[in-house]
Amino acid sequence: MKLELELELRLLDPDAWGALLSHPLLDLHALSPVPMDAVYFDTADGALNSAGIAYRVRREGERWIANVQGVGTSAGGLHQRPEWTVVVKEDKPSPQVFAGTEAGAMLFAAVGENILLPLLETHFQRFERELRWEDGSGILIAADRGEIRAGDARAPILELGLKLLHGHPGALLELGSILARDLPLLPDPQSRIHRGLALAGLIADNQGGPSLACPLRHRDVAGDALVRLLVTQCQRALGDLSRHLAEPMDAACFHDLRKDVRALRSFLRLAEPLDPQKHLGPWRQKLALWFHAQGPRRDRDVLAIRWAEVCAMLGEQSSLLQSYLAGGAARGTDTETPFLGSLLLGLWAALSRHGLAGDVGLQKFTEHRCARWDAAIQRARKKEDDPAALHALRIRVKNLRYALAALAPLWPSQDSKALLKTLTTLQDILGEIHDTDAAAATLHDTIVSRKSRLAYEAGILIGWLHAGRARHIWEFRKTWERFLAAPRPWG
């Protein structure tokens, strides 16, 4: 048995296959591919799948190899699982070849007296070689092109696997980050067997996502705990990036991705004192650039929602402005978004390599940081007719809100829910005010448009938003008083 650690990357553009093989770090184009054909087996009632076990027999060149994969972990495209392999004579299932091993015990316990049946097949060509990374780590590179077959259903295989043979796990992430920067590659959180089961209709396509909880305890060392929190947030963002790219015009998926990146930036700012060598600073700056580049798309999505509310009140079924905002969202889809995966992998690699310094306790460190942020928020409140000041206040509120939501388990005896609820409300109200203040700039082209109807509708929307600003300011004042009065769990 060996414990496999592999980063799996999906090629988003089939036309980039040649570029992938020719990439100087991979250098696969001159190799002869090895044909591989595999059959995956399970019982009629899916006993192996229910137990988290994958059993296949695969032809690799001139030989057949039986393989069992046990229960492992999968997050952000990095898969870790125990694996057993045995050379066999044919492609028929024969669990007996694993007798006397842990794999055999798992198979017999799950299968019992039931018959193993072919579940799905994979047919692909593999380009494979070993790479020695700059730190001496050994990585097995495997580029696969082919298809998954489940009955009459087909799904393409266009994947690059990076398996750690020996050395530091950060080597996989660093190589993956560089490749995802240069090529349309995305970390794939779903295993091939998962994709096959979804293709066969045996599981939901979105089933099987990893649990990304990050338990925190007040006795934890701050550096170690915040590394876990940051890695978990990177993995969460990679998962939502995959969902966003599957549905690029879905505003909810896009919003979830932006929230992930915003929370990640907040956690990085929280941990900044524990990074004296500034290893993480460049990654935070790159994430900020990506985040701000998505602002116009986010603003149009919000205005589309607000205009739909106005249309509902006016009894309008369709309008030029609706089409304009929808078209603007399509035009504004950032072509760099797929390569956000490169940034997230790079940050993950930096966390893996360098960690965070210091041995201060988590509770002491975070209480000090949250108290400072709290005081900065109270100092930041300025005139309510200053949009820039209110926007800066909103950013400070966001930082504390995201940190408090993640750190709430540290104060089980002192409830942080009241403060968190107030911060959430405060952020929402400040967001409404910001949307109003930014509406004229977002809709500038419609205001000066030669299409009088479009300019008319834009004017209605801007007027409706500004009419509500006074109410939002009143709500802000009331919520601000609740914020000041809310108990602080850090005492």
Question: pLDDT tens for residues 323-336?
Answer: 888 876 554 445 55
Q: Give the residue-averaged pLDDT of 337-345.
A: 88
**CB-CB contact of 426 with 397 (8 Å):** yes
The model's pLDDT over 12-61, given as tens digits with 9 standing for 90+, comes to 999 999 999 999 999 999 999 999 999 999 999 999 989 989 999 999 88
Mean pLDDT of the chain, nearest integer: 90
**CATH code for the domain defined by 2-199:** 2.40.320.10
Q: What is the pLDDT of residue 207?
A: 46
Find the length of the chain: 491
Q: What is the DSSP letter of 14?
A: G
What is residue 140's three-state secondary structure? Answer: strand
Would you call 24 exposed, middle or buried from its count of C-beta atoms within 10 A (0-12, 13-18, 19+)? exposed
* Look-up of token digits 């799905």: 120
Q: How far apart are CA 209 and CA 190, in angstroms?
A: 8
The pTM assigned to this predicted structure is: 0.92
What is residue 247's three-state secondary structure? Answer: coil
The residue with greater pLDDT, 385 or 410, is: 410
**CB-CB contact of 222 with 360 (8 Å):** yes
pLDDT at 165 over 80: yes
The model's pLDDT over 273-324, given as tens digits with 9 standing for 90+, comes to 999 999 999 999 999 999 999 998 999 999 999 998 998 888 877 688 888 8
The model's pLDDT over 194-246, given as tens digits with 9 standing for 90+, comes to 899 889 888 876 544 555 678 899 899 999 999 999 999 999 999 999 999 88
Contacts of 48 (CB under 8 A, 6+ apart): 41, 42, 54, 55, 107, 110, 111
Contacts of 206 (CB under 8 A, 6+ apart): 243
* Continuous H helices in 295-416: 295-314, 320-331, 340-354, 362-380, 387-407
Nearest CA among 193, 163, 10, 176 for reference residue 80: 163
Q: What is the pLDDT of residue 407?
A: 93
Question: Where do you find CATH 1.40.20.10 in the chain?
Answer: 222-485
Nearest CA among 14, 32, 199 for reference residue 121: 199
Query: What is the secondary structure of 48-92 as a DSSP string?
Result: HHHTT-EEEEEEETTEEEEEEE-S-EEETTEEEEEEEEEEESSSS
Which residue type occupies 112?
G
Question: Where do you find CATH 2.40.320.10 in the chain?
Answer: 2-199
Pairing state between β 185-187 and 2-11: antiparallel
pLDDT band at 442 (very low <50, low <70, confident <90, very high): confident
Q: Which residues pair with 125 in a beta bridge?
A: 35, 145
Q: Which residues pair with 156 in a beta bridge?
A: 147
Q: What is the pLDDT of residue 332?
A: 44
Which residue type occupies 425?
T
**CATH code for the domain defined by 222-485:** 1.40.20.10
pLDDT band at 490 (very low <50, low <70, confident <90, very high): confident
Q: Give the residue-averaged pLDDT of 425-453.
A: 87
pLDDT at 337 over 80: no
Q: Give the residue-averaged pLDDT of 169-187.
A: 96
Q: What is the pLDDT of residue 334?
A: 52
